[in-house]
Amino acid sequence: MARYCAWRDRCTSETTQKLFDMGITGKDAEKIVKWLKEEKYLDDERFAHTFARGKFHNNRWGKIRIAMELKIRKINEATIEDALSEIAENEYLATLQELARKKWNELKDDDTYIKSQKTAASLSRKGYESELIWPVVEKIKSGNPAK
């Protein structure tokens, strides 16, 4: 299990599930998880920070999607907030704008309303906040006159 946790950061729920899949449950699983935490192989806070950075930089996910995925992995709310606060606001907005422009330009539809809806939906699926999406989409829309 130490090798499993050393290969990449893991959270407690993933590790517990792996132990369960291996047929290790109850007190034995608790002992293993406790030892992994004591030896710093397992750290939910470190996992949350690594996960948030990686999903934002590599997958270009928004904060809503990252938070949702961390909740699924049973990471506590305070740790999620702390991990998300590491994402620089200017970089976050620049990524949102870049994704919006790219999606807008990919769409072949001449109707700007449809392009706006599809662009916003795409960004929403990636986990960006609607209060950030719409001003960006409107700005792109106004720079591209309707045909």
pLDDT recorded at residue 13:
96
Q: What is the mean pLDDT of residues 20-29?
A: 94
32-69 per-position pLDDT tens digit: 999 999 999 999 999 999 999 999 999 999 999 999 99
pLDDT recorded at residue 143:
81
The neighbour count for residue 18, using CB atoms within 10 Å, is 15
CA-CA distance, 146 to 144, in Å (whole number)?
6
Q: Are 27 and 55 in contact (CB under 8 A)?
A: no
Residue in 53, 47, 45, 58 with CA at minimum distance from that of residue 5 = 47
Q: What is the mean pLDDT of residues 81-107?
A: 97
**pLDDT-based confidence at 30, cuts 50/70/90?**
very high
Q: Are 139 and 118 in contact (CB under 8 A)?
A: no
**pLDDT-based confidence at 8, cuts 50/70/90?**
very high
Q: What is the mean pLDDT of residues 118-127?
A: 98
pLDDT recorded at residue 93:
97
- Above pLDDT 90, what percent of the chain? 94
